[in-house]
Amino acid sequence: MPIRVQNDLPVKEILEQENIFVMDEYRAAHQDIRPLSIGLLNLMPLKEDTELQILRSLSNTPIQVDVTFVRMTSHVSKNTSTSHIYKFYEPFESIRDKRYDGFIITGAPVEQMPFEEVDYWEELKKIMEWTKTNVTSTLHLCWGAQAGIYYHYGINKTELPKKLSGVYRHRVRNRKIPLVRGFDDIFMAPHSRHTEVPQELLEKDDRITILADSRQAGVFLCMAEGGRQIFVMGHPEYDRMTLDSEYKRDMGRGLNPQIPENYYPDDDPENKPVLTWRSHANNLYTNWVNYYVYQETPYDLYGTP
Q: Give residue 93's Cα distance to chain centre.
A: 22
Q: What is the DSSP letter of 266?
A: G
**What is the per-residue pLDDT for 15?**
57
Q: What is the pLDDT of residue 300?
A: 61
Contacts of 105 (CB under 8 A, 6+ apart): 41, 43, 124, 127, 128, 138, 139, 140, 141, 144, 147, 148
Residue with more model confidence, 239 or 64? 239
Confidence of residue 83 (pLDDT cuts 50, 70, 90): confident
Using alpha carbons, list the distances in angstroms from residue 163 to 166, 246, 260: 10, 12, 10
Query: What confidence score (pLDDT) does residue 123 get?
Result: 96
| CB-CB contact of 108 with 78 (8 Å) | no
SS3 string of 108-168? CCCCCCCHHHCCCHHHHHHHHHHHHHHEEEEEEECHHHHHHHHHHHCCCCEEEEEEEEEEE
Q: Which of 63-72, 90-99, 165-174 has the weakest average pLDDT?
A: 63-72
Q: What pLDDT, in 10s, does the model give residues 34-55?
A: 789 999 999 988 888 899 899 8
For residue 278, which phi and psi values (nearest 5 degrees)?
A: -60, -45
pLDDT score at 237: 92
The residues annotated with a catalytic role in the active site are 142, 235, 237
d(CA 57, CA 280): 10
Q: Does the structure show a pLDDT above 50 at 1? A: no
Residue 30 has pLDDT above 50, yes or no: no
Mean pLDDT value of segment 45-68 = 85
Q: 57-61, 143-147, 157-161, 179-183: which range is least confident on average? A: 57-61
| Mean pLDDT score, 291-302 | 74
Q: Is 235 exposed, middle or buried (0-12, 13-18, 19+ CB in 10 A)?
A: buried
pLDDT in tens, 176-235: 899 999 999 999 999 999 999 999 999 999 999 999 999 999 999 999 999 999 999 999
> What band does 28 get if pLDDT is binned at 50, 70 and 90?
very low
The mean of the pLDDT values for the chain is 88
Strand partners for 89:
69
pLDDT band at 6 (very low <50, low <70, confident <90, very high): low
**Of 70-74, 142-146, 220-224, where does mean pLDDT reach its minimum?**
70-74
The whole-number average pLDDT for the span 138-144 is 97
Please tell me the pTM assigned to this model.
Answer: 0.87
Residues 6+ apart with CB under 8 A from 113: none
Task: Please answer whether residues 280 and 236 qualify as being in contact, where contact means their C-beta atoms are separated by less than 8 angstroms.
Answer: yes
Give the 3-state secondary structure of residue 8: coil
Degrees to nearest 5, angle at CA 293 with 290 and 299: 105
Give mean pLDDT, residues 72-80: 76
pLDDT at 20 over 60: no
pLDDT of res. 124: 97
CA atoms of 45 and 49, how far apart (whole Å)? 9
